[in-house]
Amino acid sequence: AELISQIAAGEVVERPASVVRELVDNAVDAGATQVTVRLVSGGVRSIVVEDDGHGIDESELALALRRHATSKIASLDDLEGVATMGFRGEALAAIASVAELAIASRPAQAAHAVRLDARSGELTPVARGTGTSIEVRELFFSTPARRKFLKSDATELAHCVDAVRRHALVRPDVGFAVWSDGRLVQRWPRGDAAARVRDVLGDAFIATSRELAALPAGAGTGHLQLRVSGRAGEPAAAKAHGDHQYVYVNGRFVRDKLIAHAVRSAYDDVLHGARQPAYLLFIEIAPERVDVNVHPTKVEVRFRDSREVHQAVRRAVEQALGNARF
Ligand code: ADP
Ligand code: MG
């Protein structure tokens, strides 16, 4: 059973950043307004994610670590309208099978926090405010073959910060901080959406990108209930943009070939031979028209009407670029 769970964990946990992603997902799902990530050696030695969310009751701490245990959906039918980042109940179990894991949590009504050590199963009272801290140490300690694939601490740190950045772009209502080896390396305070995008992507990107106008209703996307918003960078300024390519579907960061292709096509149409475009896209679509349960990391999605989605995204980006004055 140990081996099987370690193999399964490989699909969820590839590197420290995958752990950060899952833990921040959970913090956000718990309604946190502030999430703090503390890393040691790029997260390889230690990752701690602290939140001020609703916490986990002492009686449910052990359950949180069990495979396929989720408090977020009750049945398969709920999957269609899933509003939380998590729903598979796999992350904590997977992480605990390839690292030392401990959870300390305190629900609002509890007199104190309780810490559960995953390995020993020991429960101890600890001091902390309402919320949850999850500590993950010595990632891949028992699977040296996997550990070997990790890059330098600096590279792993950069991936961890990226993972937090992806959350930060879509959740301006949550404050994020990242500490590395005791130093604050990134801080995104709570604020409005525009301020957050500026904070994360920088003044240069804002100055040289165009806002996507929401497509008018009935533009062929009515039945999809599809809305595209965000920003598209002016191709001429690509050099100043770095590697900003962010796509969110219903608030979830995704990597999607179809959408990337649609964006690319729009750039090719408007300005031939453009460099790699920078963009930030938020796609809102009726939940029954997209399947988010394609892959354990949920970074892939499948659209029911892929052609229409492609068209709508392409048109939205073209419109933004066409309105720009190059
Ligand atoms: P999922 O997020 O898919 O439900 P996880 O393995 O990530 O699965 O987490 C298992 C369960 O542990 C969650 O359903 C939730 O009940 C609980 N949990 C995990 N992290 C937190 C947190 N930071 N705050 C509150 N509850 C949490
Ligand atoms: Mg989760």
- CA-nearest residue for atom 20, ligand 1, is 26
Domain positions in the chain:
2-193, 202-323
Higher pLDDT, 317 or 296: 317
Which residue type does 242 have? Answer: G
Name the fold adopted by 202-323.
Answer: Ribosomal Protein S5; domain 2 (3.30.230)
To the nearest whole number, what is the mean pLDDT of the chain? 88
The pLDDT tens digits of the residues spanning 24-35 come to 999 999 999 999
- CA-nearest residue for atom 12, ligand 1, is 64
The pLDDT tens digits of the residues spanning 199-241 come to 999 999 999 999 997 665 445 556 677 899 999 998 777 666 6
176: pLDDT confidence band, cut at 50, 70 and 90?
Answer: very high
Pick the atom of ligand 1 nearest to 25's CA: 2
How far, in Å, is the centroid of ligand 1 from the Cα of 68?
A: 11
Pick the atom of ligand 1 nearest to 88's CA: 3
Segment 114-127 mean pLDDT: 96
Pick the atom of ligand 1 nearest to 85's CA: 2
Q: Residue 324 and residue 319: Cα distance in Å, rounded?
A: 9
The pLDDT tens digits of the residues spanning 126-137 come to 999 999 999 999
pTM for the full model? Answer: 0.91
Site of tokens 């962010």:
246
How far, in Å, is the centroid of ligand 1 from the Cα of 26?
A: 5
Q: Which ligand is nearest to the CA of 49?
A: 1
- ipTM, 2 decimals? 0.99
How far, in Å, is the centroid of ligand 2 from the Cα of 26?
A: 5
How far, in Å, is the centroid of ligand 2 from the Cα of 307?
A: 31
The pLDDT tens digits of the residues spanning 34-69 come to 999 999 999 999 999 999 999 999 999 999 998 776
How far, in Å, is the centroid of ligand 2 from the Cα of 235?
A: 37
Nearest CA among 187, 151, 159, 179 for reference residue 48: 179
Residues lining ligand 1, CB < 6 A? 22, 26-27, 30, 51, 53, 55-56, 64, 70-72, 86-93, 132
Give residue 71's pLDDT: 77
CATH of 2-193, one of 3.30.565.10, 3.75.10.10, 3.10.620.30, 3.40.50.2300: 3.30.565.10
Segment 149-166 mean pLDDT: 96
